[in-house]
Amino acid sequence: MLAVLGITLPIFAAVALGYLCVRFGLFKPADMRLFGSFVLHIALPALLFLSVATRDAREVFNLTYMAVFAAGALATIAVSFTLLTALKTSPSRRAVAIMGTSCPNSGFVGYPLMLLAFPDLAGQILALNMLVENFVIIPVCLVLFELAKPQQGANIARLIGQILLGVLRRPMVIALVLGLVVSLLKLPLPAPLTQTAGLFAASASALALFTIGGALVGLPVKGHRALAGLTAAGKLVLHPAMVALALVAAVALGLPPLSSALATALVLSAAIPMFSIYALFAAELGHEGMASLAQVLATAASFLTLSGLMLWLL
């Protein structure tokens, strides 16, 4: 138990520090947006580039890991869609809730968690998660968003193309692609380049957690409480359960097995709260209040759920 708390307590202490610093005026909520932008556009891309460029491409592209992570997320989306449709949830609220149940915060919460639990694998795990999230999970959720809007002869193929083009423009995806090119071509990296990228990469973990906490201050938490609670439960319970089932299915189907560390990291990656810009996406459909409430609930409850899951798995 002490070993698990040694991993989870520092993470949530950093989140709490960010919250308290903004709550009592040391920083402003607008500062958190600046910090978050730095992490998203500089620190995490530097980290991803180094993680991919300094590894063999065959190691980065662990097909079993990516297949299980993708299958678990798609199963979560399918179960959430079915349940919310049965509950007669409107298409727009359903789309927002589905995104909340299936899109984890691998960059801001997952990487710091893995850095403490599996320091030698943290960069690889982040790269694998980001590949699946950016090319599978988020695009599927964005298609559901677009289908929930009033349609005026929208072309679904063009819509998917626009979403994927937007994905390719993200700094983290560009960093992944550049790192992959370096890895495949076995290009030597100059020491000044790796050292500079390493400096920025080292800032990602603490600043990401601090930003998560500070961003919770002042969130509009007036929304559909029942749906917010259901969304938070889906993220913390349903998503890791679906990934665990997908892992069992992968073994039964004869896919190459994962190491115990990667298998554990796979389930834990699905058990972290939804990504930090969830409420911004929800604002497109006018449900940022519900999304913010779900994010607050999931972030607070994840200390208990993650600690319990780690106690069971580690």
Q: How much is the pLDDT for 93?
A: 93
d(CA 241, CA 75): 10
Q: How much is the pLDDT for 220?
A: 66
Q: How many CB atoms lie within 10 A of CB 152?
A: 5
DSSP H helices, 153-218, are 156-168, 171-185, 191-202, 204-215
Tell me the three state secondary structure of residue 205.
helix
Instruction: Look at the pTM and tell me if it is higher than 0.85.
Output: yes
Give the contacts of 299 (CB within 8 A, at least 6 positions apart).
15, 212, 216, 273
Q: How much is the pLDDT for 1?
A: 65
d(CA 208, CA 74): 27
Reported as a single tens digit per residue, the pLDDT across 252-294 is: 999 999 999 999 999 999 999 998 788 878 888 888 888 888 9
Q: How much is the pLDDT for 243?
A: 97
Angle, helix 225-233 to helix 91-102, in steps of 10 degrees:
30
Report residues of the chain scoring pLDDT below 50.
none
Tell me the three state secondary structure of residue 259.
coil
Q: Which two tokens stand for residue 248?
A: 């069992």
Q: How much is the pLDDT for 78?
A: 97
The Cα diameter of the chain in Å comes to 58
CA 34 to chain centre: 19
Q: Which two tokens stand for residue 69?
A: 């992570």
- What is the full DSSP assignment across 50-73? HHHHTS-HHHH--HHHHHHHHHHH
Reported as a single tens digit per residue, the pLDDT across 90-120 is: 999 999 999 999 999 998 899 999 999 999 8
d(CA 62, CA 126): 12
Give the contacts of 223 (CB within 8 A, at least 6 positions apart).
287, 288, 289, 290, 291, 292, 293
Q: How much is the pLDDT for 33?
A: 86
d(CA 89, CA 96): 11
Q: How many CB atoms lie within 10 A of CB 6?
A: 11
Q: How much is the pLDDT for 55?
A: 82
